[in-house]
Chain A
Amino acid sequence: MTYIASHFAHVAALAAAHVELVGAALAVALIVAIPVGIFAARHARASAWILGSLGALYTIPSLALLAVFVQLFGLGFVPIFVALVLYGQFMLARNIVAGITGVDPAQVEAAHGLGMSNAQVLARVEFPQALPVVVGGVRIAAVAMIAIATLGGYVGGSGLGVLIFNGLTLHQPSMIVAGSVAASMLAIVVDGMLRLVERRARRALG
């Protein structure tokens, strides 16, 4: 903690880079997961296959996956970014599928019967109803990604992992602690904020 106090600007800059990395990865992961999730929700058979594959991907140790991407993309921002996007897929897609397939079938039937187009059923009925579950997935993914993103410090990316790995190299436990504590606090804050969003989305359902 004293390290954070004495090197506040440095830690803050690394925390900002951490947020940037996770934020960008989360955004791209969502852009991929939303159509994948919608497709899987519409095709039960494909769904098992898609979620199964993403689940298998999720079980690969993050360090091993990162090593592969360093081989492919070299050191720096890209390997950790790609790894985060892939890791997020499982949690995001799973919750999007659960959210959409969990919508009361009577409401979907009524929506079609009243003359909503498929896109309108999705936008006006399925999406708002699925939102709390989807936000729950975003929250879990964000927290996991904040933790995994510390590995970026090992492969030449930025973020709070830099403190941890430099601390290891330089035998500076205070740096390791600073990086870990800052990453944990970041995860706790993000978790809390997304919990609020989740609760608000749930309340909107009546």
Chain B
Amino acid sequence: MTAPAGAAIAFDGVTVAYPGSDRPAVAGVTFEAAAGELVVLLGPSGCGKSTLLRTVNRLVDLSAGRVLLDGRDVAGVDAVELRRSIGYAIQAVGLFAHMTVAENIAVVPTLLGWPAADIDRRVDELLTLVRLEPARYRHRRPRQLSGGEAQRVGVARAISARPRVLLMDEPFGAVDALVRADLQRELARIVAELGTTTLFVTHDVDEALRLADRVVVMREGGIEQVAVPLDMLASPATPYVRELVHAGDAVYRQYFEHVHSLLRGGA
């Protein structure tokens, strides 16, 4: 099957100010993610990365600026319709406890009114894609899944209706390191395969540098640097970025260059 091409995401002077807060959560952020690109938003908690992510599917309203998908302002699209066209996965996963794995994955196709036969086929296809054997997992309940399995189902649910944009908010933050590495590899594979434009939020530097086509480092609501991982390591724009990505640590840099060549070499 030919995957639909990802949509370009443009942030144009995006500002989000919450009432009662003395500084905006996101302040005048401008950058673009090209179609099919995997962009990681990296920074400590409270830096505005999740808020920025949530402006794309309008879970957060803008105080100023615009968010454009393929040049179209998301503010002009019905929020519910917009969200159905955008994949969304979060750290807590939020699988619906009263539904089976198959029903969870089928949520968006069901909302979109796909025929039942198409939904069934799609569920099996997705379970296979995230490497969960359909016959074994289809009828399980979320409670019967391990943390890693639940995350896989969460990813399958997020991409079920073939979204052109995928938003992931620390999706692997709650699983242990081994499973996380596994999930990262598979996400990179899936996203490359589908060509979905992906915004991925994390505070984990290692994860950011492994996964990203480009990394956006955020701090106190603003952008510190946007760069491809190797460039960020080679020439951090600010002392903050330098410290964050251990740019001064030659061993880490070498280790990471090695990781990157392994990850990206095959693609």
Contacts and interface: CB of A to CB of B under 8 A. Distances in A.
Interface stretch (B85-93, B221-229, B247-255): B85-93
A115 B98 contact: no
Interface in A89-137: 104-117, 120, 124-125, 128-129
A206 B111 contact: no
Prevailing SS type, chain A contact patch: helix
Contact of A114 (B92, B98, B107, B143): B107
Nearest to B141: A206
Contacts of B97: 104, 107, 129, 205-206
Interface in B16-70: 57, 59
Interface residues of A, number: 22
A185 interface: no
A113 B108 contact: no
Contacts of B141: 206
A100 B108 CA distance: 22
B4 interface: no
B114 interface: no
A160 B83 CA distance: 56
A106 B92 CA distance: 6
Contact of A107 (B85, B96, B111, B143): B96
A112 B111 CA distance: 12
A31 interface: no
Contacts of B108: 114-115
A109 B83 contact: no
A205 to B, nearest CB: 5
Contacts of A110: 88, 90, 93-96
A97 B80 CA distance: 25
B94 A107 contact: yes
B261 interface: no
A206 B83 contact: no
A204 interface: yes
B90 A114 contact: no
A206 B94 contact: no
B157 to A, nearest CB: 7
A109 B91 CA distance: 11
A114 B144 contact: no
B94 A115 contact: no
B94 A106 contact: yes
A113 B95 contact: no
Contact of A113 (B85, B90, B111): B90
Contacts of B167: 113
A115 B108 CA distance: 7
Contacts of B98: 128-129, 204-206
| Interface-central residue, A106, A110, A112, by most chain B CB under 10 Å | A110
Interface string B123-148: 00000000000000000011110000
Contacts of B57: 113
A115 B84 CA distance: 5
B90 to A, nearest CB: 6
Given A110-B93, A114-B83, A206 B142 contact: yes
Given A109-B94, A110-B94, 12 more contacts: A104-B92, A105-B92, A106-B92, A110-B96, A114-B107, A114-B111, A114-B157, A115-B84, A115-B86, A124-B96, A206-B97, A206-B144
6 contacts: A104-B92, A111-B96, A114-B83, A115-B81, A115-B108, A129-B97
Q: Which 7 A-B pairs have the closest CB atoms?
A: A110-B94, A106-B92, A115-B84, A206-B141, A115-B83, A106-B94, A113-B88
